[in-house]
């Protein structure tokens, strides 16, 4: 799944790829409602961790499976896997699917193409591509493409990540916003710890 990163220059730069539009929009809208919130520039990329490490972005929404070594992060929640199918497909009315069933389809791709979400959805509509994406794409599918849950495909843990041990005032406000937004989204009433470095995952 793809992602985005924010860039900050008094503002914040956020990197993300194209597959989690709902999470990005919700987080940025929550941040923009804060008095005096810094402007966030969004960088779309297929390698969020590298954007953080090379300085292209200050903070990134990404899956922790992408590798968070050398990064601090907070968890935003799970992205549940769904397969994109045209409405006329023989499997489109199923309540769930399995990876084995998807693997038997000629159009199935077990890795996500480095393409914009709109292109991926169009290819699914045309029957050229069957692919697993995160459930937050649902509000961008329209009526001609359906998303069927994939029961044995692991959910992806979304994180907001930034280079470990670095300070940036505008980024700190975005991190605080994300922590509060995530607690509301997941119903978690515990106070988040933003000062301690998050565990690195290789």
Res. 74: pLDDT tops 90: no
Res. 1: pLDDT tops 50: no
pLDDT for 23: 74
pLDDT for 7: 45
Higher pLDDT, 29 or 192: 29
Higher pLDDT, 61 or 4: 61
Of all residues in the chain, the percent with pLDDT exceeding 70 is: 78
What is the SS3 assignment for the chain?
CCEEEEECCCCEEEEECCCCHHHHHHHHHHHHCCCCCCCEEEEEECCHHHHHHCCCCCEEEEEHHHCCCCEEEEEEEEECEEEEEECCCCCCCCCCECHHHHHCCCCECCCCCCCCHHHHHHHHHCCCCECEEEHHHHHHCCCCEEEEEECCCCCEEEEEEEECCCCCHHHHHHHHHHHHHHHHHHCCCCCCCCCCCCCCCC
CA-CA distance, 84 to 141, in Å (whole number)?
9
The mean per-residue pLDDT over the stretch 7-15 comes to 44
Question: In terms of Cα–Cα distance, which of 112, 82, 105, 111 is closest to 95?
Answer: 82
What's the longest Cα–Cα distance across the chain?
53
pLDDT for 46: 75
Determine the angle formed by the axes of helices 169-186 and 21-32, rounding to 10 degrees: 120
pLDDT digits (tens, 9 = 90+) for 32-42: 888 887 788 88
Mean pLDDT of the chain: 78
pLDDT digits (tens, 9 = 90+) for 126-140: 999 999 988 888 878
pLDDT for 14: 52
pTM metric for this prediction: 0.70
pLDDT digits (tens, 9 = 90+) for 124-179: 999 999 999 888 888 788 899 999 999 999 998 888 888 888 877 777 888 888 88
- CA 181, 151, 100, 126 dihedral sign is negative
Q: Which residues pair with 162 in a beta bridge?
A: 72
pLDDT digits (tens, 9 = 90+) for 13-72: 555 454 455 677 788 888 888 888 778 888 777 788 888 888 888 888 888 777 778 888
């Amino acid at each position: 799944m793809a992602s985005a990163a924010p860039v900050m220059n008094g503002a914040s730069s956020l990197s993300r790829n194209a597959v989690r539009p709902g999470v990005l929009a919700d987080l940025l809208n929550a941040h923009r409602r804060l008095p005096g919130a810094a402007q966030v520039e969004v960088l779309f990329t297929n390698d969020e961790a590298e954007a953080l490490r090379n300085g292209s972005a200050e903070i990134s929404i990404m899956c922790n499976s992408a590798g968070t070594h050398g990064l601090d992060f907070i968890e935003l929640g799970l992205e549940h896997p769904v397969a994109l199918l045209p409405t006329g497909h023989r499997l489109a009315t199923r309540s769930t699917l399995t990876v084995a069933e998807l693997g038997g389809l000629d159009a199935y791709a077990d890795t996500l193409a480095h393409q914009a979400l709109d292109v991926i959805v169009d290819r699914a509509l045309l029957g050229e591509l069957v692919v697993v994406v995160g459930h937050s794409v649902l509000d961008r599918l329209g009526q001609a493409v359906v998303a069927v849950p994939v029961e044995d495909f692991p959910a992806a843990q979304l994180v907001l990540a930034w280079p470990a041990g670095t300070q940036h005032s505008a980024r700190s406000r975005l991190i605080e916003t994300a922590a509060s937004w995530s607690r509301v989204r997941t119903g978690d009433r515990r106070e988040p710890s933003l000062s301690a470095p998050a565990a690195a995952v290789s």
